[in-house]
Amino acid sequence: MEKINYLQFKKSLQAVGKSYFSVNDLKKFYQGSDKNFKVLLSRWHKKEMIFRLIRGYYAFYLSQVDYLHLANEIDPNSYISFEYALYYYNLIDQVPSVVTLATKKRSRTIKAGNLVFEYVRLKSELCFGYDLKEKIYIASPEKALADLFYLLARGKRIAELDTLRLKKINIKKFKEILRHYPHYVFKKAQQALNI
């Protein structure tokens, strides 16, 4: 019976089109009690029929998880920024070891499957300049760079910007975005980038 339920769950969840699923997603297809549901999840996890990403989120295959979408779903008020967004736009060469996101909530780090998500708190008035691209919220290249300089100027980050492809940055737009930050952030960017 368990195998049939598992195959039904898998087929139903794959039809939804997500590469991972939440406990709430699973409950939509489960008719039994919460107690039995938890036992079922535990069995499937122990048998490696499903893999736990973080509390409340699972996947059938770790290699197929859309981690960037998951990062946004964990904190719907977040957007990908800082080093990871710069890498996404091919503005830096080094692959970040952490997916970095800006959020209005508290700063925190979460290990999810094969990746680490770092949520960095920004003041509400600094959470702008991002769009929905390929189902993820991500800062524009100029905003990601401004967010990074905000952390650099406050001593919260160390970054090598030697390989930054500055020619791909719209300097006028970057300076306009920096006007929303404290003046010391603009000065730090000006010194580092000679703009």
> Which residue segment(s) compose the domain that 31 sits in?
2-64
Claim to verify: residue 164 and residue 135 sit in the same structural domain: yes
**Co-location of 146 and 76 in the same domain:** yes
Residues 171 and 91 in one domain: yes
Say if residues 144 and 85 touch (Cβ distance below 8 Å): yes
Q: Are strands 130-133 and 136-139 parallel, antiparallel or unpaired?
A: antiparallel
Domain identity same for 37 and 122? no
List of long-range contacts for 7-15, beta carbons under 8 Å, 24+ apart: 10/60, 13/60, 14/60
In terms of domains, do 10 and 60 share one?
A: yes
| Of 64, 86, 115, the domain-final residue | 64
Q: Could you tell me if 130 and 45 lie in one domain?
A: no
- Whether residue 85 is found in the same domain as residue 177: yes
For residues 84 and 160, state if they share a domain: yes
State the pLDDT at residue 18.
Answer: 85
Domain end residue (candidates: 64, 92, 113): 64
Q: Which of 44, 64, 84 is the last residue of a domain?
A: 64
Domains of the chain: total: 2
Q: Same domain for 9 and 97?
A: no
- The helix (H) or strand (E) run that includes residue 112 is strand 108-112
Answer whether 132's CB lies under 8 Å from 126's CB. no
Question: Do residue 43 and residue 72 come from a single domain?
Answer: no
Residue whose C-alpha is closest to residue 94's, from 5, 34, 164, 47: 164
- pTM here is 0.89
What digits encode the pLDDT tens for the residues 127-158? Answer: 999 999 999 999 999 999 999 999 999 999 88
Q: Does residue 89 sit in the same domain as residue 28?
A: no
Specify the CATH number for the domain of residue 6: 1.10.10
Residues 19 and 76 in one domain: no
What are 92-139's pLDDT values in tens digits?
998 999 999 999 999 999 999 889 999 999 999 999 999 999 999 999
pLDDT-based confidence at residue 66 (cuts at 50, 70, 90): very high
Proportion of the chain above pLDDT 90, given as a percent:
72
What phi, psi does 102 have (nearest 5°)?
Answer: -95, 145
